[in-house]
């Protein structure tokens, strides 16, 4: 694999180059000290993977990543940074990066990440994954639960039965009501949750932990 290292610190570039060159399946074809240089060298060398620092002079790593991935779809970018803040992670991934590794990681993890993104996979350092999951758990459930609370106890029961695969006739029999009543309640559930199909109701029920996909 051809690797391009982009970092504004010479000692970091030299250290990474020395370590990468020891890997039998990797070779460092170029080093860049700025974002602009990374873009230029990516065009010239067409590396398989660019190990990209986020904080660099002139053009930062995020903008350099956006330029490179939009122009060269076969070039994979692996972000390497001291920053574990979700904002940096999200922005560089949105820019087209295929992975994110922290600079205090062991080199063995960086090597694993390089091979993963070169193979077309996405790689996130465990700590970065934890940050993103924590962020998700802090923000999403409150919004979902608030909507779920608008359903009546009977509507929740019907939602669970729908998600479990029961049809209107089976639900009507279970509650000793008419099929029309069940259909009206199903329509009310969809309206409250702003969902428009049985499939969407099922996915919602799974997210709420009311049922599991068979």
CATH number for the domain spanning 86: value is 3.40.50.2300
Identify the burial level of 187 via C-beta atoms within 10 angstroms of its C-beta, where 0-12 means exposed, 13-18 middle and 19 or more buried: exposed
- 13 with 102, same domain? yes
Give yes or no for residue 137 having a pLDDT over 70.
no
pLDDT at 153: 85
Judging by beta carbons within 10 Å of its beta carbon (0-12, 13-18, 19+), is residue 214 exposed, middle or buried? exposed
Q: Indicate if 22 and 60 belong to the same structural domain.
A: yes
- The residue among 103, 131, 159 that closes a domain is 131
Residue 20 shares a structural domain with residue 126: yes
Domain membership of residue 177 as a residue range: 150-207
Confirm whether 138 is domain-assigned. no
Whether residue 55 is found in the same domain as residue 108: yes
For residue 144, being part of any structural domain is answered with no
On whether both 120 and 66 belong to a single domain, the answer is yes
In 3D space, the residue among 53, 123, 60 whose CA is nearest the CA of residue 83 turns out to be: 53
In a domain, 145, yes or no: no
Nearest to 157 by CA among 142, 140, 141, 172: 172
Q: What is the pLDDT of residues 2-13, one digit of tens each?
A: 999 999 999 999
Shared-domain flag, residues 66 and 98: yes
Identify the residue whose tokens are 């039965």: 161
pLDDT for residue 140 is more than 60: no
pLDDT tier, 127 (very low <50, low <70, confident <90, very high otherwise): confident
Q: Are residues 113 and 188 in the same domain?
A: no
- The whole-chain average pLDDT of the chain stands at 88
Look at residue 129 and tell me whether its pLDDT is greater than 50: yes
In a domain, 214, yes or no: no
Q: Is 26 domain-assigned?
A: yes
Domains contained in the chain, number: 2
Cα Rg of the chain (Å, integer): 25
The CATH number covering residue 167 comes to 1.10.10.10
pLDDT at 211: 62
Interval 18-73: pLDDT, tens = 999 999 999 999 999 999 999 999 999 999 999 999 988 788 999 999 999 999 99
Residue 158 sits in the same domain as residue 117: no
Mean pLDDT of 69-95: 90
How far is 31 from 24, CA to CA, in rounded Å?
19
Residue that wins the pLDDT comparison between 199 and 44 = 44
The tens digit of pLDDT for each residue in 164-198 reads 888 999 999 999 999 999 999 999 998 888 888 88
- Does one domain contain both 71 and 167? no
Nearest 5°: phi and psi at 51?
-90, 110
């Amino acid at each position: 694999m051809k690797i391009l290292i982009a970092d504004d610190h010479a000692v970091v570039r030299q250290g990474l180059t020395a370590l990468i060159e020891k890997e039998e399946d990797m070779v460092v074809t170029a080093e860049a000290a700025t974002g602009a240089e990374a873009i230029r060298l990516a065009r010239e060398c067409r590396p398989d993977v660019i190990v990209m620092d986020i904080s660099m002079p002139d053009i930062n790593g995020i903008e350099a990543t956006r330029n490179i991935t939009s122009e060269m779809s076969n070039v994979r970018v692996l972000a390497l940074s001291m920053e574990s803040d979700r904002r940096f992670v999200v922005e560089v991934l949105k820019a087209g990066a295929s992975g994110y590794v922290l600079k205090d990681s062991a080199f063995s993890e960086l090597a694993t990440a390089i091979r993963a993104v070169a193979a077309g996979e996405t790689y996130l350092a465990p700590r970065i994954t934890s940050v993103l999951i924590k962020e998700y758990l802090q923000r999403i459930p409150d919004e979902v639960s608030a909507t779920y609370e608008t359903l009546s106890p009977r509507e929740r029961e019907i939602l669970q039965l729908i998600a479990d695969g029961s049809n209107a006739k089976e639900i009507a029999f279970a509650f000793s009501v008419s099929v029309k009543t069940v259909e009206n309640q199903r329509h009310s559930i969809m309206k409250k949750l702003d969902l428009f199909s049985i499939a969407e109701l099922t996915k919602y029920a799974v997210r709420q932990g009311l049922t599991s996909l068979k």
